[in-house]
A and B are shown apart, each in its own frame.
Chain A
């Protein structure tokens, strides 16, 4: 058995949406999943499979209807709104398909945004942020605006931003969906490198080739985990713990 607490532990997680009247949709129908520190997990599935819902729940953007979600050992499944915000800001780094940088801010200011909401003195972290920009290869673009950058560069700023609070988990939603193959590859290599440095990564994708980069691929269908495929051994985990499909 592992001694370290898993980063993500989902216990029979359910999410139901009311559709008005009596009918409701079970977007997630009781999912169990464990993601250990340092692992790289890809989530795949057709639209309507519940992967977006799961991503929202893992990202603390939403609360499950039932079941429990432990993020780094803390039950976040029924946290009030402010605490969820806190959890998102301090423990999760988001990487979106459309980068989602804030247009009126420069590269370094965008990287600093999550610090702001943690009540940290932005100036004290200037060097830290500059170093992150360096890490993603944008050390010389600190004072550019997002609209002066290419898509690939913007996504790399977003990755730097996701790292600024040193999160437990990086959550990437189709990070290369808006990029051409070559720049997409660069971004994926950057993610690989971060994983190699010990970052835990959960990535949602349609693309089988991208999924193969992960240690493990979770396939979803109809609100359940259909199957899990292990591509390669998770670090330090002896093959990892695979949650049994519900």
Chain B
């Protein structure tokens, strides 16, 4: 081993020995750094996890999509008391879909969705459901797993066929004993032949739209061809509550517009708004651009990370000040030893190194323990709660790096102070 390395190793051993002389003090000093590093890692892990979930949810909407939804205009809602039995007319229309498809550049396809709340019956089972009337391309745009049978087809759409596809959960409740594919369900007075079972990959967004009733299973969806829905149920929705009846006339609840690429999304959005504003004299729809939401979520995440990071960094700083404080006390306490070492031939830099090594051992040791605890805490948090946590490598590296830097920065002053001592004064020190 070359002499430099050797000296480093022996300085290191000496540093550890000196620290072991005051175990409790060293441990308490380390604790500051441990908490600091641990909080940096776990806070960032929790933040990362939270934003990951938000971003996943948004990504599922499709970053190439623009979603239009019918919204009941607020003034209309207030006035609804006027004509109790008058139908309220609002929302997106079939024509809107066709116009968007024809006029907006970069549109690949438009997917209309109409949602009807009805009970679905089989035998004696009656389950309140969302009847989702849509086109076959639904599977490609929203992401659906076909488990058995098939989804709706073009032919179904053309022939206004009474066929339906059920979510697997609903099928299990409706047909506890039968094979669903051999059966038909009854919606209002019409029978629909079951042709397939699916599993929605995403949380169906429509749920919030029509699922106004609380306490029902979330994946009770029945899919039927849009043309069938129009000819069987019409455009009027009658909603009965205990005391009143609401009648709404809504053609479509949602239009999902799939754009050619992400770039087209941004230019198309204002164009769509302008187009619709010519045909809607009130704002009875909303535009959701997942891409923008995603960007916002990323922005939020950045701010969140900065805030969390700063809080954690402050705790590291406090830890560093703790180290400096202790080291200053140690230097005073060991003034005599410093004098002796100087008399025995130690140069100023030897003394500087010796004390610097001690602070670095404290901070890096604390950092390592902090990393271990910091990786563990998020795991425990995820176990105990439903919160998702993601420990990123960079947060570990940053936290550990800062702890090392803190050790050096806060170690330099005490170490320099020790090296500056006059050997004669130091030897005389009691």
Contacts and interface: CB of A to CB of B under 8 A. Distances in A.
B350 A117 contact: yes
B315 to A, nearest CB: 31
Nearest to B347: A85
Contacts of A105: 14, 17
B344 A114 contact: yes
Given A82-B347, A161-B344, A104 B423 contact: no
B210 interface: no
B340 A88 contact: no
B348 interface: yes
Interface residues of B, number: 26
B18 interface: yes
Nearest to B346: A117
Contact of A62 (B3, B336, B348, B424): B424
A166 interface: no
Interface in A157-208: 161, 165
A107 to B, nearest CB: 15
A94 B10 contact: no
Interface in B342-364: 342-348, 350
B380 to A, nearest CB: 38
A239 to B, nearest CB: 33
B388 interface: no
Nearest to B13: A109
A69 B10 CA distance: 34
Nearest to A120: B3
A63 to B, nearest CB: 11
A86 B427 contact: no
A238 interface: no
Interface residues of A, number: 29
Contact of A85 (B17, B340, B345): B345
Contacts of B336: 100
For B3, B4, B344, B350, the residue with the greatest tally of chain A CB atoms inside 10 Å of its CB is: B344
A169 B289 CA distance: 86
B277 interface: no
B344 to A, nearest CB: 5
B342 A85 contact: yes
Interface class of chain B by DSSP: helix
Interface in B1-22: 1, 3-4, 6-7, 10, 14, 17-18, 21
For A59, A96, A104, A122, the residue with the greatest tally of chain B CB atoms inside 10 Å of its CB is: A104
Nearest to B344: A114
B60 interface: no
A122 B343 contact: no
B266 interface: no
A118 interface: yes
Contacts of A161: 344
Contacts of A90: 345
B355 to A, nearest CB: 14
B249 interface: no
Interface in A214-243: none
For B18, B347, B348, the residue with the greatest tally of chain A CB atoms inside 10 Å of its CB is: B347
Interface string A69-109: 00000000000011001101110001010001011110000
A104 B424 contact: no
Contact of A88 (B6, B21, B343): B343
B423 A113 contact: no
Contacts of A94: 343-344
B337 interface: yes
Contact of B341 (A86, A113, A119, A165): A113
A89 B344 contact: yes
Contacts of A88: 342-345
A86 B345 CA distance: 6
Contacts of A47: none
Contacts of B3: 119-121
A85 B6 CA distance: 20
B205 to A, nearest CB: 68
Interface string B403-430: 0000000000000000000011001000
Interface string B315-355: 00000000000000000000011011111111110100000
A61 B342 CA distance: 9
Contacts of A102: 337, 340-341
Given A100-B336, A100-B340, A100-B427, A121 B6 contact: yes
A59 B18 CA distance: 27
Interface string A107-136: 000000110111111100000000000000
A105 B346 CA distance: 16
A114 B424 contact: no
A150 interface: no
A94 B341 CA distance: 11
A6 B38 CA distance: 63
A165 B346 CA distance: 13
For B10, B17, B21, B336, the residue with the greatest tally of chain A CB atoms inside 10 Å of its CB is: B10
A61 B423 contact: yes
Contacts of A117: 341, 344-347, 350
Contacts of B424: 56, 61-62
Contacts of A119: 3-4, 7
Contacts of A165: 345
Contacts of A113: 341, 344
20 contacts: A81-B348, A82-B347, A82-B348, A85-B345, A85-B346, A85-B348, A89-B344, A90-B345, A94-B343, A96-B340, A100-B343, A100-B427, A103-B337, A105-B14, A105-B17, A114-B345, A116-B7, A117-B341, A117-B345, A120-B3
Interface of A: 56, 59, 61-62, 81-82, 85-86, 88-90, 94, 96, 100, 102-105, 113-114, 116-122, 161, 165
In order of increasing CB-CB distance, the 6 nearest A-B pairs are A89-B345, A117-B345, A85-B347, A100-B340, A114-B344, A119-B3
Interface of B: 1, 3-4, 6-7, 10, 14, 17-18, 21, 336-337, 339-348, 350, 423-424, 427
Given A81-B347, A114-B345, 13 more contacts: A56-B424, A82-B347, A82-B348, A85-B347, A89-B346, A90-B345, A96-B427, A100-B340, A103-B337, A116-B10, A117-B344, A119-B3, A120-B3
